[in-house]
Chains A and B, each alone.
Chain A
Amino acid sequence: MIKLTINEIPVEVEQGSTVLEAATKAGVSIPTLCHHPKLTPYGSCRLCLVQVEGAKKLQPSCTLPATDGMIIHTETEPVKKARKFVLSMLFSERNHFCMYCQETDGDCDLQQAAYREGLNNWPITPAYLPFAVDASHPDFILDNNRCIICRRCVRACDELVGNSTLGFEERGSATFLVADYGVPLGKSSCISCGNCVQICPTGALIDRRSAYQGRETDLTHTQSVCVECSLGCIRDLQTRDNRLVRLEGVVEAPFNEGLLCELGRYKPFHDDRVRLTTPLIRRNGQLEPAGWEDALKLVATQLKVHDSAEISATISPRQTAETLNAFSEFFREAFQATDVTLLGHDQTAQVSLELEKEFGAFESHLEALKHCDNVIVLGTDLVKDHQVAGFIIKRQAARGTRVFEATKQPTKLTANATDRLACVTHDFSTVVELLEKSLNGESTEVTSELLGLGTGEVSTFFADMPAWQNTAIIIGKDFATLENLPACRALVALARRINASVLMLKGKANAAAAARIGLNTTATALPNQVYYLALGDGHTCEHVEEAFIKSEFRVIHASFASNLTEAADVVLPATIWDEEGGHYLVTDGHIEHTDRAIVQPENARTIYEVLWQLADKVGLQLPGDWESKLGAVEARVI
């Protein structure tokens, strides 16, 4: 431990800490701009200068290592004078007029720093050097005129997201932010995750939709789990007047640490489907508006007059654990319908349960991805399906983490990896065989050839496999099928031998909870006498669509109009993701909670609510016990 004194306050920090970290620990606040807790200290803005006794000049506290016996002062006259000078220089360089900036009053770190130092005018007149504004991106705008060249965005793009799209051109006051080699953002290699926008301390990168729609303090913040995939990233829902304004990643969240992907940040805003506003009943071949009472009565009657084998029911994995459980209790347990399924084809969660029977707790926390030196990715395109996990692998691959990837389609996962081996294959048992042979030091010639890999590159890549440390094996939907269970077993056994972390990415939102509740996806769906589709705000898949349309009596509970609502006999308007609270079992087995952030339109009801109302109509009691079905799940993850 290192002992130092900051403003007369003694503080102890670990070896390798910076003076800024020590100050935070001592409860001393030092203003910063280029510094961000999730980025490597950079020391470019000089706002965090402090006085170190014995040093001739002021030192930037963000990059200065704390040493034993240091005596630091952070509020002396020279320090305050230096801060005011640094701020004056920053304000003089570009267009930092707050009155016509979106990032104002509490949202802007530069403005906050000026307030903190009591700056009530700019001692240096601005230079008025104009830069072109880049509005080519559909989600955000780059205005170099408001940039302070702190490089937080560039560092976030590289260090956190691993995409390295952003960079700087020119030098000194002419420095400006560019995408790739100077192409418009909208035409660049940008993957639209928007993490640069979130991390920008000023108004240089602003969100198109939420710009000028209120300051942070005018917005209501609701923390909840993202439902676009099953990683369980925590996001901050920012709303105003019952309207979603902006989505941001929560920096304090253990896994995503502030990051979100394009889907998590922008997808809800791209949704232009038409909302259903009233229940509809088909009468004489035409769908006509109806009251909830009539619609529910009709559904209840149809359910009562049919046998359990004549009822099919499918639910979207985007629903909460409470809803999935009520659905299962209603259709599987009460009605004993044989065909009660989860929407989609992804069987990963079911496979994980099967493997658990044999191996016990065999999966790791997602955190394991952040510290691995070797990664094996099987049957999933992380760049598309679980993007934030993809960011973590990409950023590590650029810094020497070895990545072996076997997928059905070519992926863009590790374009800038230093050590990568990839094959495109449908034959996953051969992949496992290759891994086993590599580990045993056997000849991999034949298996390499089957996978379209050169024997030379395979042997180089896996040469020291028995000695691999910190290995993570990521398994996705194309590998983890029930059909492929033997290969999955062999893989988990292999993982045990090299002490690797195993992570099975479990499809959409709450697929893991659905599997534990007993709702499984199936490869096929058949038409039936009654088809109840609890779609919510999700999208359907082809085989369910076909079965639904061909069924005799079709009920759909959905948020948006679609070809299926047009084909249905009863249409019930549903809430959407931000209008309902509940629990989600995320990929690595812990339960996350989400709160309702928006009050739903008058006629929309949650799937959960409607199931209870239907139960009442048919004279059933639902136990509503979802917790015991998911219970003690956390203990099952290592």
Chain B
Amino acid sequence: MSFLDMDERLIELLKLVDLRATPITDLKEPDEEGVDVGILEGGLSNSYNEEVALKMRKRSKILVALGDCAVFGGVPAMRNFPGAHEALKRAYIETESTDSSGMIPNDPELSTPVHVRPVSDLVKVDVFLPGCAPSADAIFAALSELAQGRIPKVEGELNDWH
């Protein structure tokens, strides 16, 4: 939502950007030959997130961690206190609205939950843009710098974790 809150500035920004891949377009992964900027949001919560992070690092010249989850671990990291298994047990078996048939999903296709980490715990991050969510102004400021070939300085008002 914060991203969309950039409103008409999005259009200006798109003029400067060649969008190679996003989870919501047909191209899900950055080009093998690499891209200039890779942006990751979300903490590393499972084995799939880790794969994505490694691939993004490998293929991006500049890697950006966007939002408190990617920067610090965020809300998913709350489960690190009780542990992933305890959290899943609570969510799928013990909640008041769950009947006796509740079970923790175990399909082999599913990725494995891990100890939640910020992106920088696995790969080197070049730009940290914290915030829950970062404000539209902060996102715009960072992206417009990147689109013009500069590394944004996330400080002052742009550095706001909430």
Contact = CB atoms under 8 A, between A and B. Distances in A.
22 contacts: A97-B72, A97-B74, A97-B75, A97-B77, A97-B78, A98-B68, A99-B68, A99-B74, A99-B161, A100-B75, A105-B160, A111-B161, A115-B160, A120-B159, A121-B65, A121-B71, A121-B118, A125-B117, A125-B121, A126-B73, A128-B81, A130-B81
B162 A99 contact: yes
A115 B159 contact: yes
Interface residues on B, range: 20 to 34
Q: Which 9 A-B pairs have the closest CB atoms?
A: A99-B132, A121-B128, A128-B80, A130-B81, A120-B128, A98-B161, A120-B159, A118-B155, A120-B154
A128 B68 CA distance: 17
Interface in A101-125: 104-105, 111, 114-115, 118-122, 125
A395 B160 CA distance: 40
Interface in A126-145: 126, 128, 130, 145
Task: Select the residue from A99, A114, A128, A130 with max chain B CB neighbours within 10 A.
Answer: A99
B49 interface: no
A99 B160 CA distance: 11
A95 interface: yes
Contacts of B129: 120
B135 interface: no
B30 interface: no
A114 B125 CA distance: 19
A120 B155 contact: yes
Contacts of A130: 81-82
Interface string B129-147: 1101000000000000000
Contacts of A95: 81
Task: Select the residue from A95, A114, A121 with max chain B CB neighbours within 10 A.
Answer: A121
A218 B125 CA distance: 34
B162 A104 contact: yes
Contacts of B75: 97, 99-100
B120 interface: yes
A151 B16 CA distance: 52
A97 B89 CA distance: 23
Interface string B69-99: 0011111011011100000000000000000
Contacts of A111: 161
Task: Select the residue from A114, A115, A125 with max chain B CB neighbours within 10 A.
Answer: A125
A243 to B, nearest CB: 23
Given A98-B132, A115-B159, A122 B72 contact: yes
A588 to B, nearest CB: 45
Contacts of B81: 95, 128, 130, 145
A97 B155 CA distance: 19
B12 to A, nearest CB: 25
Given A120-B154, A130-B82, A98 B162 contact: yes
Interface residues of A, number: 20
A111 B159 CA distance: 11
Contacts of B128: 120-121
Contacts of B78: 97, 100
A125 B154 CA distance: 20
Contacts of A122: 72, 118
A121 B155 contact: no
A23 B81 CA distance: 40
Contacts of A128: 77, 80-81, 115
A111 B121 CA distance: 21
Contacts of B159: 115, 118-120
Contacts of A98: 68, 132, 161-162
A97 B65 contact: no
B71 A120 contact: yes
Interface in A298-335: none
Contacts of A100: 75, 78
Nearest to B82: A130
Interface string B96-129: 0000000000000000000101101100010011
Contact of A97 (B73, B120, B121): B73
Contact of A121 (B115, B117, B125): B125
B70 to A, nearest CB: 10
A85 B117 CA distance: 20
Contacts of A104: 161-162
A104 B74 CA distance: 14
A283 B13 CA distance: 74
Contacts of B121: 125
Given A126-B73, A128-B81, A121 B162 contact: no
Nearest to B70: A121
A126 B71 CA distance: 12
Given A97-B77, A111-B161, A121 B82 contact: no
Contacts of A118: 155, 159
Given A99-B161, A128-B81, A121 B120 contact: yes
A145 B125 CA distance: 27
B62 to A, nearest CB: 15
Given A115-B160, A121-B71, 16 more contacts: A95-B81, A97-B68, A97-B75, A97-B77, A99-B74, A99-B161, A118-B155, A120-B129, A121-B125, A122-B72, A125-B121, A126-B77, A128-B80, A128-B81, A130-B81, A130-B82
Interface in A272-316: none
A99 B161 CA distance: 7
A473 to B, nearest CB: 53
Nearest to B116: A128
